[in-house]
Amino acid sequence: MTPDTVVAIIRQALEVAMLAAGPMLLASLLTGLLISVFQAATQINEMTLSFIPKILVMFIVLVVTGPWALQLLVDYIKRLIGSIPTLIG
């Protein structure tokens, strides 16, 4: 196993992790931005006002994109486990 192989495996793992987590992080970011604008416009400074909608939006995004993200992770793990003989030998 060469250092280039290790770097390639780590790079692929990071790409898969970013793809799997990206939709939830993006949804949370956009929700937080919208709520911050609403709070600035109305001068309401309530912590739960930003926390609860983020949780709800992230749950909805997880339900919608969860099967895709899970399939992405399973495919990566299958490829990684399938390549073990070539990595060792």
CB 5 within 8 A of CB 86: no
Domains contained in the chain, number? 1
The predicted-structure confidence for 13-70, as pLDDT tens digits, reads as follows 999 999 999 999 999 999 999 999 998 898 888 877 888 899 999 999 999 999 999 9
Specify the pLDDT at position 66: 95
Domain range spanning residue 28? 21-88
Specify the pLDDT at position 88: 84
- Whether the full predicted model's pTM is greater than 0.85, yes or no, is no
Residue 80 lies in a domain: yes
Specify the pLDDT at position 80: 93
Alpha helices in the chain (DSSP H): 3-42, 47-82, 84-88
Residue 53 lies in a domain: yes
